[in-house]
Amino acid sequence: MSLMAEPTAEGRFGEFGGRYVPETLIPACMELEAAFREAWSDPAFRAELDELLRSYAGRPSMLTECHNLSAQLGVRVILKREDLNHTGSHKINNVLGQVLLAQRMGKKRIVAETGAGQHGVASATAAALLGLQCKVYMGAVDVERQALNVFRMKLLGSEVEAVHSGSRTLKDAVNEAMRDWVATVESTHYCLGSVMGPHPYPWMVREFHRVIGNEAKVQCADLLGGDPDLVIACVGGGSNAMGIFSGFVDSPKTALIGVEPAGGAAVGRGIPGVVHGMKSYLMQDEYGQVLEAQSISAGLDYPGVGPEHSYLASIGRAKYETVTDPEVIEAFQVLARTEGIISALECAHAIAWLIREAGRFQGQTALINLSGRGDKDVAQMMDILEPELAAGGH
Amino acid sequence: MGRLDTDFRAKRDAGRKLLVPYVTGGLTGWQDAVRAAAANGADAIEIGIPFSDPVMDGPVIQEASLRALTAGATPVSILEEARDLDVDIPLAVMLYYNTVFRFGHRRFAELLIASGISAAIVPDLPLEESVEWTRAADASDVDTVMLAAPTAPDERLPRICARARGFVYSVGLLGVTGERDTLASTATTLAARLKKITDVPVIVGVGVSNAAQAAQVCAVADGVVQGASVVRRLMDGGADAVGDYVAEVRVAIDAVASAAPVAVITA
């Protein structure tokens, strides 16, 4: 049996997970679980989703071998190009699945939270395609630093609401989306953007992203003749990591590495806690107040993590490491200059970790999930880097 | 069973409608607000323990929580201050589960009793997740109030009521705490569904916003929680404004109690 099987009936992965939500939402979570279970075992639903993933999202995403970066690091570096999906990140996999499911459940409206805006854009896209209303909650800080994605969502016909409570980032956007869902649960599906939240979300979202790992497994067999030594992915909530880990979790030779931002390291710095419907590692103070994450990357600016990551960490199957903002800024530039790929700041965390640690893995093969493209981050990076580039005579 | 359970059943059986004001702990003047509410006809007080991520709360209680946290309030400081309240009615805490979980179930239940608190309401701890907490709470005679929501199917309600101590908290509407212009129809329909199946006192909260709405609710239910309407008055007008408001609601629901005979409970 796979290490990434179904959670228990209570939605637990080991001691983590569960369903800690207001009573109002319990029937909706149960209904969603039943609907997902039924749809996921229905070949017609699977075929419809596969066709959308192929003809609309652009799957399968390819592998790119990084010859220049490999030579520089002494590690053979392979990228899984989720950045080339429609809407620019892996998020579309989950969103197409959830919105198809919402439609099947007769829901007319979805709400979503977003950090960097990638899940919001993907949700707005799927809602436009499948004819549902969509409202996206986004922390006011993120609305400012990801203005392009806000405009994209509006272009796609979605309403975007800036959230001014708390730290005004991703965790507060989740709170506000949950408050909306509590009030509108009969007509609305909450299209949660990561492998987090109450059962069945961590399981369902992982299943919708399993396609990343399934493809990569076959592609690695073709390219490498087997599994890579390392699979590396950035972790905020942890959906892209869960997707690619799923292909290799049962491969004994493959080390799984999740890379968290130093300022948002739920596994690295957290202890078990309960927020947003789940028990998982959580950055919190001695009284259980949730701490604010601090990261250059809006998509990883989250003090919690999906419960299955906590489980994989607790049994030692995956390792969770941190990188700092300056290391990420450096990695963002290294990938651009060596490979001609401008990555999202989120997955630049995975690159940054490998650049720093390459000495320990000489001659080995590393598969990195390049979960998103960097278009959304260019303006922010221009502010940081342009003075530097100018000083360097460019 | 704890004190809330004993008190509420006795008062309900004597024909009194039960009034439960909510006050955010740690907010400036909160202890005086609790005393004012007790002096003006409250039957119990819910003391809110502020949490960083209050997903069941609307803008007023979010603001109050933020103010209390910014002022340095912690669960420990609030429970210490609660010991000085010296009011003659049961006190409950309303808090999010991570506060309990972080302390440890048993340690938290013992801390509540040591602080003079007899009950706990944990809105993000549904029936399925409640076992560890209720075991510890029962052992310390802390009454755990369970919430029932308008979305619950019929088969679920008896299981919630069976686990409820003190009262069953009948959630008045689909949505978060806060004041509304009119009372949602769900406020009375859910209370009526609950009254049919349980002899645990049924108290309606969330979205019951003034004395008139409290009276509407009490025509069906055993009592009412007043949250945002109380907290807003505390933030705007201080403890006296809370006392005046509680007195006004008291009069309104007493009128309902004297107009209607006590419902006969068959369950």
Nearest CA in chain B to A12: B129
Q: Which of B46, B143, B179, B222 is catalytic?
A: B46
Q: CA of B261, closest CA in chain A: separation in Å?
A: 31
B266 or A367, greater pLDDT: A367
Biggest alpha carbon–alpha carbon distance for chain A: 62
Best B107, B128, B131, B163 residue to mutate vs chain A (most A CBs within 10 Å): B128
- A362: number of Cβ within 10 Å: 9
Question: Does the beta carbon of B156 lie under 8 angstroms from any beta carbon of chain A?
Answer: yes
Residue A394: pLDDT over 60:
no
Residues 108-137 of B with CB under 8 A from A: 123-129
* Cβ–Cβ below 8 Å for A21 and B51: no
Residue B266: predicted pLDDT:
47
- Provide the token pair at A316: 């030692």
Cβ contact A25:A33 at 8 Å = no
A13-53+91-201 placed in CATH 3.60.15.10: no
- A10 part of contact set with chain B, CB < 8 Å: yes
Q: What is the mean pLDDT of residues B17-32?
A: 98
Distance from CA of A95 to the nearest CA of B (A): 23
> pLDDT by residue (tens digit) across B136-178?
999 999 999 999 999 999 999 999 999 999 999 999 999 999 9
pTM for the structure as a whole: 0.96
- Within 8 A of A23 by CB-CB distance, chain B residues are 123, 126-127, 146-149, 151-152, 160, 171
Q: For B43-86, what is each residue's pLDDT tens digit?
A: 999 999 999 999 999 999 999 999 999 999 999 999 999 999 99
Question: What number of other Cβ atoms are within 10 A of residue A381's Cβ?
Answer: 18
Please report the domains of chain B, with CATH numbers, ordered by start residue: 3-145+209-259 (3.20.20.70)
pLDDT in tens, A27-45: 999 999 999 999 999 999 9
Mean pLDDT of chain B: 96
As a whole number of angstroms, the distance between CA A297 and CA B178 comes to 34
DSSP A93: H
Mean pLDDT for A141-159 is 93
- Asked if the Cβ–Cβ distance from A274 to B128 is below 8 Å, we say no
Minimal CA separation from A292 to chain B, in Å: 10
Question: Domain limits of chain A?
Answer: 13-53+91-201, 58-89+209-391
Which residues 41-80 of chain A have a CB within 8 Å of chain B? none
pLDDT digits (tens, 9 = 90+) for A343-371: 999 999 999 999 999 999 999 999 999 99
Report CA torsion sign: B261, B119, B175, B265.
negative
Token representation of residue A117? 């805006």
pLDDT over 50 at A103, yes or no: yes
The token pair that represents A15 in the structure block: 């001691």
Cβ–Cβ below 8 Å for A286 and B123: no
Is the link from the previous residue into B75 a cis peptide, with omega within 30 of 0?
no
Q: Report residue B260's pLDDT band, with 50, 70 and 90 as the boundaries.
A: low
Picking from A10, A27, A183, the nearest residue to B176 by CB comes out as A183
Tell me which residue in B58, B97, B147 faces A23 most closely, judged by beta carbons. Answer: B147
pLDDT in tens, A107-131: 999 999 998 899 999 999 999 999 9
B163/A contact by beta carbon, under 8 A: no
Q: How confident is the model at residue B101 (pLDDT cuts 50, 70, 90)?
A: very high
Determine the residue of chain B that is closest to A22 in CA distance.
Answer: B124
pLDDT of residue A298: 84
Distance from C-alpha of A213 to C-alpha of A235, rounded to nearest angstrom:
16
Any chain B CB within 8 A of the CB of A11?
no
How high is the pLDDT of residue B259?
83
How far away is chain A from the Cα of B247, in angstroms, using its nearest Cα?
Answer: 31
CB-CB under 8 Å, B56 with A182? yes
Q: State whether residue A278 sits within 8 Å of chain B by CB.
A: no
Query: Which of A19, A28, A289 is opposite residue B128, by nearest beta carbon?
Result: A19
Q: How confident is the model at residue B1 (pLDDT cuts 50, 70, 90)?
A: confident
B97 contacts in chain A (CB < 8 Å): 20, 274
Report pLDDT digits (tens) over A170-193: 999 999 999 999 999 999 999 999
Q: Is B24 an 8 Å CB contact of chain A?
A: no
* pLDDT given at position B261: 58
Asked if A27's CB is within 8 angstroms of B153's CB, the reply is: yes
Mean predicted confidence (pLDDT) in A64-90? 98
Mean pLDDT of A60-86: 98
> What b/e readout covers B213-230, taking b as 16+ CB neighbours within 10 angstroms?
bbbbbbebbbbbbbbbbb
Structure tokens at A140: 């006011």
d(CA A112, CA A120): 6
Tokens 């991520």 found at: B53
DSSP 8-state class, residue A41: T
**Gyration radius (Cα) of chain B, Å:** 17
Q: Is the pLDDT reported for residue A279 higher than 70?
A: yes
Question: Could you tell me the fold of the domain covering A58-89+209-391?
Answer: Rossmann fold (3.40.50)
Q: Is A192 on the interface with B (CB under 8 A)?
A: no
Per CATH, A13-53+91-201 and A58-89+209-391 having the same topology is answered yes
B263/A contact by beta carbon, under 8 A: no
- Tell me, what's the pLDDT at A211? 98
Mean pLDDT across chain A, nearest whole number? 96
Closest CA of chain B from A172, distance in Å: 7
- Label each residue of chain B as H, E or C: CCHHHHHHHHHHHCCCCEEEEEEECCCCCHHHHHHHHHHCCCCCEEEECCCCCCCCCCHHHHHHHHHHHHCCCCHHHHHHHHCCCCCCCCEEEECCHHHHHHHCHHHHHHHHHHCCCCEEECCCCCHHHCHHHHHHHHHCCCEEEEEECCCCCCCHHHHHHHHCCCCEEEECCCCCCCCCCCCCHHHHHHHHHHHHHCCCCEEEECCCCCHHHHHHHHCCCCEEEECHHHHHHHHHHHHHHHHHHHHHHHHHHHHHHHHCCCCCCCC
**Contact pairs from chain A to chain B, CB under 8 Å:** 117
ipTM computed for the complex: 0.94
**Which of A19, A175, A286 is nearest residue B129 as measured by Cβ atoms?**
A19
| C-alpha to C-alpha distances, A224 to A77, A83, A219, A221, nearest whole angstrom | 11, 22, 8, 5
Task: Flag if B152 and A27 touch (Cβ within 8 Å).
Answer: yes
> With contacts defined as CB-CB under 8 Å, which chain A residues touch B164?
none
Active site amino acids of A? 66, 90
Q: What is the pLDDT of residues B123-145, one digit of tens each?
A: 999 999 999 999 999 999 999 99
What DSSP string runs through A212-261? HHHHHHHHHHHHHSS--SEEEEE-SS-HHHHHHHTTTTT-TT-EEEEEEE
Q: Could B126 and A22 be called an inter-chain contact, meaning their C-beta atoms sit closer than 8 Å?
A: yes
Contacts of A276 in chain B (CB under 8 A): 53, 55
